[in-house]
């Protein structure tokens, strides 16, 4: 984010905002749906959160970066682990979440449902 200098609070929260796919904005650009962060009693910055569908894409991209290769190239066990992570993060409550994840993993929707059911049966 530019224009905010080296504020230690902003430096501290930036990785979290980035991980969520959010955007930090000056207070005067805050909209009604933005979250204003305060520090020591003063408003410091506004955070614009992404739409849920955009968050899922952001989470998938982060998992891909962490794994160092496309999610579709992972073995079955690793794909099952990704599905568990995504379920814990609410990915399947997003409209078309299963389809989006299936596409990213290079599997069918049926396979994603099987991975989800397998986890519940354990």
Return the ∠ at Cα 29 (arms to 24 and 32), rounded to 5°.
95
Helix (H, G, I), strand (E, B) or coil at 58: helix
Alpha-carbon torsion angle 100, 101, 102, 103, nearest 10: 50
**Other residues' Cβ atoms within 10 Å of the Cβ of residue 100:** 19
Q: Which residue has the higher pLDDT, 70 or 91?
A: 70
Bridge partners, residue 48, by sequence? 23
Element (H, E) at 112: helix 109-121
pLDDT in tens, 18-76: 877 789 999 999 999 899 999 999 999 999 987 766 778 888 998 999 999 999 999 99
| Low-confidence winner among 3-7, 10-14, 31-35 (lowest mean pLDDT) | 3-7
């Amino acid at each position: 984010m530019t224009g905010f200098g080296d504020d230690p609070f902003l430096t501290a929260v930036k990785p979290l905002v980035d991980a969520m796919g959010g955007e930090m904005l000056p207070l005067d650009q805050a909209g009604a749906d933005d979250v204003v962060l305060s520090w020591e009693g003063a408003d410091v910055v506004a955070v614009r959160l992404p739409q849920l569908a955009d968050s899922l894409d952001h989470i998938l991209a982060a998992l891909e970066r962490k794994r160092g290769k496309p999610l579709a190239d992972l073995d079955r066990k690793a794909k099952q682990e990704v599905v568990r992570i995504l379920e814990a993060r609410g990915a399947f409550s997003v409209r078309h979440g299963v389809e989006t994840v299936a596409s990213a993993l290079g599997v069918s929707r049926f396979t994603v449902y099987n991975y989800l059911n397998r986890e519940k049966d354990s």
